[in-house]
Amino acid sequence: MTTLMEKAHSGMVTSEIKRVAVNEGIDANDVRKCLALGHIVIPKSISSKSYPVGIGKLMRTKINANIGTSRDYVDIEAEVRKAITAEKYGADTIMDLSTGGDLDLVRKRIINSVNIPVGSVPIYQAVEKGIESMTSDDMFNAVRKHAKDGIDFVTIHAGVNHESFKRLKNSDRILDVVSRGGALTLSWMKHNYEENPFYAEYDYLLELAREYELTISLGDGMRPGCINDASDRAKFEEFIQLGELVKRARAEGVQTLVEGPGHVPINEIGLSVTGMKHLTENAPLYLLGPLVTDIAPGYDHITAAIGGAVAGMHGADFLCMTTPAEHLALPDEDDIREGTIVTRIAAHAADLTKDGVSDRARAVDRDMALARKELDWNKQFSLSIDSERAKKIHARSKNVDTCSMCGELCSIKMMRDVMGKK
Ligand code: SF4
């Protein structure tokens, strides 16, 4: 089978490429060229019915919403509602991170409830029978099963291996490994005295990815889990290896994303993003945060949005939503709505600064400014990222044309007079 990346390389402008170009408002040949180079991915596997979404160079910054059951809390209907809510409020993709209940059923229900691409972490299913019993076959079989079900992209922690573990052991981290997939992989390696199968048999993983047109999201298993651990050698060691794995995937026509940290202070985000982009030869970068402080539980959607906006400005392409429940509990539907909206704000703030994207993004802000000047409230609501909330708050104003902030002292109204534009 010829993969999408190979088709792009040979000059074909496929229907997926055309659709992405139309959605982004750019030339299809520019999308094709970036896809051929691996600077854009369009995660859409052969069994998937999702519409194509472009992530990477020249694309609007995309956002992902993580949902899924836990072993403590299994409510499939709630997860389906979360998926629908995330799509409604603007998530570009969803990841099913379920670890509890009937994993096949929850995955299929989520895939069938949304139109956007869905990702997963197959090792969460492979480990269902326990670390001690899990085999490398279980790990690859889970990848195949997810691809067959219509999953579009999978997180694979191939950068967690003997080499990066050695670097971790020599570090002075406080939180060692906070990635669930990373910790599971290291536990398996320790129990079996073996190399990570996804790293040792990476060529086989690429064969599977080719067969199902599955996009590989190379997981950041060594991502720092607190400000103290940010930007250390263990993280960069993993990125050196992920860069090599990206290169091997591209040679096989397999699309790859690279995942990144984590918790990073604002002044290190630029270094972190440009370093990762350099080491991975401009692979689309998917960030989990970065959270810019550790001390705001309950508000981590905000600490992540601050970091996400700065990271996007420096070139991050894809932001993973963080919710107010981060570090505290499994998110509920309200958390997903809040997290999705706040992450969209961060993504748009980044887009206002990005080469090749900022003109399109700024046009929306210009329309909002014009609507404000006209005191055209309906137009303002229609342009708002969360129009429901904007309408609800404005409804507290009794004034018909202005709002209750300044009332008759509305500067916009006064300046119409001053500028002779009544
Ligand atoms: S009343 Fe004040 S806040 Fe409201 S629209 Fe006029 S200037 Fe803006």
* 304 token code pair: 């992540």
Give me the mean pLDDT over the 333-360 stretch: 97
Cβ(394) – ligand 1 distance below 6 Å: no
Per the document, the length of the chain is: 422
**pLDDT above 90 as % of the chain:** 85
- Report the atom number in ligand 1 closest to the C-alpha of 407: 1
The amino acid sitting at 86 is A
Q: What confidence category does residue 408 fall into, taking pLDDT thresholds of 50, 70 and 90?
A: confident
Whole-number Å distance between alpha carbons of 97 and 301: 18
For residue 82, pLDDT beyond 80: yes
Domains of the chain: 41-357 (3.20.20.540), 374-418 (no CATH)
For residue 75, pLDDT beyond 90: yes
Kindly report, residue by residue over 185-195, the tens digit of the pLDDT. Answer: 999 999 999 99
**Residue to mutate (ligand 1; options 370, 393, 403, 415; most atoms within 8 A of CB):** 403
Whole-number Å distance between alpha carbons of 20 and 18: 6
- In sequence order, the β-bridge partners of residue 218 are 156, 258
Cβ(80) – ligand 1 distance below 6 Å: no
For residue 329, pLDDT beyond 70: yes
How many angstroms separate the alpha carbon of residue 375 from the centre of ligand 1?
A: 8
For residue 422, pLDDT beyond 70: no
**pLDDT above 70 as % of the chain:** 100
Instruction: Report the candidate in 340, 276, 359, 312 with the shortest Cα–Cα distance to residue 65.
Output: 340
Kindly report, residue by residue over 28-50, the tens digit of the pLDDT. Answer: 999 999 999 999 999 999 999 99
Give me the mean pLDDT over the 21-25 stretch: 96
The pLDDT of residue 234: 86
The pLDDT of residue 43: 98
The pLDDT of residue 99: 94
Give me the mean pLDDT over the 400-419 stretch: 89
Cβ(410) – ligand 1 distance below 6 Å: yes
How many angstroms separate the alpha carbon of residue 372 from the centre of ligand 1?
A: 9
For residue 369, pLDDT beyond 80: yes
Q: What DSSP string runs through 10-62?
A: TT---HHHHHHHHHHTS-HHHHHHHHHHTSEE----TT--PPP--EETTSPPE
Kindly report, residue by residue over 150-181, the tens digit of the pLDDT. Answer: 999 999 999 998 988 888 888 889 998 888 98
Helix (H) / strand (E) element for 200: namely helix 197-200
The pLDDT of residue 151: 98
Kindly report, residue by residue over 99-156, the tens digit of the pLDDT. Answer: 999 999 999 999 999 999 999 999 999 999 899 999 999 999 999 999 999 999 999 9
Helix (H) / strand (E) element for 221: namely none
For residue 17, pLDDT beyond 80: yes
* 176 token code pair: 């060692």
For residue 247, pLDDT beyond 90: yes
The answer to whether 87 and 50 have CB atoms below 8 angstroms apart is no
How many angstroms separate the alpha carbon of residue 17 from the centre of ligand 1?
A: 43
How many angstroms separate the alpha carbon of residue 366 from the centre of ligand 1?
A: 17
Bridge pairing between strands 40-41 and 55-56: antiparallel
Rounded to two decimals, the pTM is 0.95
Across 131-167, b (16+ Cβ under 10 Å) vs e yields eeebebebbbebbebbbebbbbbbbbbbbbbeebbeb
Kindly report, residue by residue over 235-244, the tens digit of the pLDDT. Answer: 888 899 999 9
